[in-house]
Structure 1
Amino acid sequence: MTVGLDGSPESLAAAAWAAREALLREVPLHLVHAEEWPTTAAVPMAGPEVQQRWADKVLADAADELRERHPGLEMTTRRLSGRPAAALPIEAADAEMLVLGSRGLGSIMGFLIGSVGMATVSATEQPVVLVRAPKHQGKEPRTGSGDAEQPDTASAYRDVVVGLDISQSCDKLLAFAFDEAARRGCTLRAVHGWTLPLVYSYAPMLEVGRQVEQALSDMLLPWRQKFPSVQVVERALIGSPAQQLVYSAADADLVVVGRRLRRAPLGAHIGPVAHAVMHHSAAPVAVVPHD
């Protein structure tokens, strides 16, 4: 489990989320800082030695707080050389996932992960989880506090939501989503949004709706059998897939979306549904790459 730290409240919230996830998965947590983060209020302009001391302190402070909260968690810290979008995917290549922070901009605008975050998501072939900073007024949050905080008992977890496209294989998304729900002991909500042209009449729409629901059930059946302990709720909803998924994930602990692996000359691509959910979901977003 790898988490990128840049000293911002968002990255500290990501570290807190990643620590709990590492405990769920029984894996070590690796806190890393890429040295060429862009200059921001959290990462002021300074000479190399000053920046290195600052980065070491960010890593050490986060590790100390997480060890205090989770004494049994195995943890390492490391400074990386190079730009985050290049260094973080390499560092996460052998990890189960990469966790990053996302900057909150309010309910209307959603939250912006920025060019660094978008480039990192596009370049990473492991699942990437984006975590919002907690809402605090008047002070900076502690690493383990706020909206990103989750219960210590699995029974208290809220739902995991996964967005599915019944027209293509979703095995990697479903494997990730069912595993997350099983570890948490929570309900998995499988959501598929679909639309019809306006020329369709009411009766054909009902028939198509039944076909869509059946296709969704067929897609989920082998995973229900593989994870019999997971309670599954199926939702085939009429409307924009992105809007339906964001709406469905409003009260979730985690929303899972897919990103097609496209090794094209122009670089990787993030699809419109994943892009919209990444920017507008209030819950942590897991972006799972798949063929």
Structure 2
Amino acid sequence: MLSPVVVGVDGSAESLAAAAWAAREAERRERPLRLVHAWEGHPRPGEREIAHAARRHLALRALRQARDRVRAECPRLRPVDEQTEGPAVPVLLKAAGEADVTVLGSRGLSGFTGFLVGSVALGVVARATCPVVLVRADEEAADEHLPAGDGGASTETGYRDVVLAVDVHDVRDEVVEYAFEAARLRGARLRAVHAWQAAGLVGAGPGPGPGGIGPVQDAWQGEEWLDLLQAALRMWRDKYPDVDVLSTVVEDRPTTALVRASTGASLLVVGHRLAERPLGPRTGPVTHAAIHHVTCPVAVVPHL
């Protein structure tokens, strides 16, 4: 049986947008869709039975609303739903362990660029062993597509770019493959972005060349970064010959470059190293900034 696209639902606008995006992704990937809702089924100390029943009613309503949204988005899709007793993060992580992709909602900041990412989403992103996609509350199907000829929104036009964040010093196959496959499924262009900073700037990384020790001071060295990026992607371009790839190097901080590059994209793909840290699992600075500040859905792909 094919592993499903899993989406966490709780009745919020964020989770309904996530359910709609997950439904479209399930159709693109030709996989089943599974709706998961976590609720504390056991009455708390001193909690009356009527309150317990109310919590169960809210769980059923959240799943019903998600099913209705999926049906409106993808009428032919028949999702399977699941309500599980327990804290949300462990429940969703268990479901993610059986998933092809897990999708969660994240609120867009009205009037600003970015996400309000709650503890549940961050907890799942930090620990999940499958890709996790974060979707804003106001995400619409048309947002994935290029505008129509008159400039209006459309779902009949081609897809916007899929953007891939690449560190040429640490290229991870899982992350690159996910991005190429996402672009293939959409018939979209893949824009691979590597950011570098000139030597002497705070946070500057090593330069190109043998041993990665050459200082990046002249504009021409941007061409060397581009050569490294293209070399890192060559195998994947051969494997996905139908995917149009635009390789881009940017002299800027990685977080700033990704926010700019993802503006107007259908999806941003970033990597996340699965490793225990002193304060427990957490995302790295670039991934953390990406999931808080970009305006399109963000796919966080784990790797070792």
**Do they fold alike, i.e. is TM over 0.5?**
yes
Other-structure match for 1:139 = none
- Judged with a 3 Å threshold, the aligned counterparts in structure 2 of structure 1 residues 168 and 107 are, in CA distance, closer, same or farther, namely farther
User: For 2:216 and 2:271, how far apart are their aligned partners in 1?
Assistant: 32
- Equivalences for 1:18-97 in 2 at 5 Å? 18-36=22-40, 47-97=51-101
- Judged with a 3 Å threshold, the aligned counterparts in structure 2 of structure 1 residues 54 and 157 are, in CA distance, closer, same or farther, namely same
Q: Secondary structure at the match of 2:130?
A: coil
For residue 219 of structure 1, what is the amino acid of its counterpart? Answer: A
TM-score, with normalisation over the residues of structure 2? 0.83
- Judged with a 3 Å threshold, the aligned counterparts in structure 2 of structure 1 residues 148 and 81 are, in CA distance, closer, same or farther, namely farther
- Equivalences for 1:246-265 in 2 at 5 Å? 246-264=259-277
User: For 1:109 and 1:249, how far apart are their aligned partners in 2?
Assistant: 11
| Offset, 1:268 | 1.4
Q: Secondary structure at the match of 2:296?
A: coil
Decide which of 147, 163, 166 is 1:164's aligned counterpart.
166
Q: Secondary structure at the match of 2:170?
A: coil
The question of whether the paired residues in 2 share the 8 Å contact of 1:159 and 1:188 is answered with yes
**What is the count of residue pairs matched by the alignment?**
274
- Equivalences for 1:152-191 in 2 at 5 Å? 156-191=158-193
- Equivalences for 1:227-242 in 2 at 5 Å? 227-242=240-255
| Offset, 1:67 | 2.2
| Offset, 1:145 | 6.7
Matched, 1:288 2:285: no
User: For 1:188 and 1:262, how far apart are their aligned partners in 2?
Assistant: 28
The question of whether the paired residues in 2 share the 8 Å contact of 1:163 and 1:245 is answered with yes
Q: Secondary structure at the match of 2:219?
A: helix
Structure with higher Rg: it is: 2
TM-score, with normalisation over the residues of structure 1? 0.87
Q: Which runs of 5+ in 2 are unaligned?
A: 42-49, 147-153, 202-206, 208-214
| Offset, 1:266 | 3.6
For residue 290 of structure 1, what is the amino acid of its counterpart? Answer: H
Identity across the alignment (%): 42
| Offset, 1:25 | 0.4
- Judged with a 3 Å threshold, the aligned counterparts in structure 2 of structure 1 residues 197 and 72 are, in CA distance, closer, same or farther, namely same
CA RMSD across the alignment: 2.5
Q: Which runs of 5+ in 1 are unaligned?
A: 38-45, 136-143
For residue 215 of structure 1, what is the amino acid of its counterpart? Answer: L
